[in-house]
Amino acid sequence: MVDPYPGCRRCPPPDGPTLCRVGASSQPVAPIADPEVAATVALLHRRHSWGRMTVTSLMAFLFAGGAYTNGESQGATPPSWFFVIVIVLGTLTVAGIAAVVLDTALLRRRPPAVRALAVPLAAHHPGGTRAHHYPPRHRFVWAVGWVGMLLFLVVAVVSVPAVVDGVAYLAGHGNTVQFDPVSYQTECNLRGGCFTSTDGILETGGAGVEASWPNVVPLGKPFPVREPMWRWGLGVTLINSDGIAVVAILLSLLIEGGAVFVLVSFVKLTRNWLRHRRTASASASASASASASASASA
C-alpha cells in the first residue's frame, strides 16, 4: 500500500494511527508518491498563492485609489499615469479573485478522498509561493505578485511629498503666495461623484505656475495661500484646511508603511537569489571536477 503521507511522522494512539505535525519546515520532506494527491497539493498551493497575491493587490489598489480620490477632492487630480497604476492594481485584484474561484472549482472536482489526503499535506509540505522565495514554485503567480508590489512602491514614492506638505501646513511652515483664480473645472471621481474646483496661477518667486484650489472662489480676485513645499508627485495639491492636511498625512503614512514591507521582501528575495546562485555555482563546479576526475581515471 502506498503511504499517502511520505515524510510525515505517525503516532499510534489507542484508537489507531493518526497524522502528526511534521517537525521544522526546514527539514526535507519526501516527494508525495501518489500523483493524484501530489497534483491536488500543488493546486492547493497555487490557490493559496493566488489568494496571497489578491490580498496584496487589493490593499495596494485601496491605498492608491484612496490617494487618487483624495487628490481629486482637493482639486488637484493626480497625473494620468497614476490613474493607470490604479487601474492596473484593480485589474490584478480582479484577476486574482478569478484565479482563486477557478482553482476552487477545480479542487471541488477532485475526489473527496483525494482532497482529504491532500489538505493536511498542503499545510505541512513545502511549496507555497512567497514573494521572497527564489526560485519560486509558481513563477507566473510570483511574477504577477511582484508587479503589483512594484507598482505599490511607485505609489509610495509619489506620496512622500503629501506627508511633507501636510506636516508643513499643520506646523505653519512654508511661504505664503498669491493664487490668481482663472477658471472653473468640474471633474468626476471613481465613485461617480462630481465636484468643481478653481484653476489658476500660483505666483511663486516672480514666476507663475498652474495650480488648483479645491473650492469655488470668485475669478480674477487673487488671495493668499500656503505654497506646497514639495511640488511633485502628490505634493502638487494646495491644502486649505487642517482636516485635509491630516487626511493627506495619514493616508500617505499608511502607504509608506506598506512600502516598508515590500522593501523587506525585496531584500529577502535578493539574499535568496544570491544564495541560489552560489549553490548553483558550487554544484556546477563539483560536477565539473567529478567529470574531470572520471576522465583522468579513464
**Domains delineated in the chain:** 163-252 (2.40.50)
Question: What is d(CA 152, CA 141) in angstroms, rounded to the nearest whole number?
Answer: 17
Cα 202 versus chain centre, distance: 36
Confidence category of residue 98, pLDDT binned at 50, 70, 90: very high
List, for residues 244-272, the tens digit of each pLDDT value.
788 778 888 888 888 888 888 888 888 88
Question: What is d(CA 154, CA 167) in angstroms, rounded to the nearest whole number?
Answer: 21
Measured in residues, the chain has a length of: 298
List, for residues 163-212, the tens digit of each pLDDT value.
888 888 888 877 788 888 888 877 765 556 677 778 888 877 656 677 77
Distances (CA, A) of 111 to 1, 15, 40, 161: 19, 26, 10, 55
Question: What is d(CA 259, CA 31) in angstroms, rounded to the nearest whole number?
Answer: 37
For residues 200 and 211, the answer to whether their CB atoms sit within 8 Å is: yes
Whole-number pLDDT of residue 102 = 93
pTM: 0.57
List, for residues 133-176, the tens digit of each pLDDT value.
667 766 777 787 788 788 888 888 888 888 888 888 888 877 78
List, for residues 64-96, the tens digit of each pLDDT value.
887 777 666 665 566 667 788 888 888 888 988
Which amino acid appears at position 223 of this protein? Answer: F
Whole-number pLDDT of residue 11 = 42
∠207-210-213 over CA atoms, to 5°?
Answer: 125
Whole-number pLDDT of residue 274 = 86
Question: What is d(CA 95, CA 57) in angstroms, rounded to the nearest whole number?
Answer: 10
Question: What is d(CA 43, CA 217) in angstroms, rounded to the nearest whole number?
Answer: 59
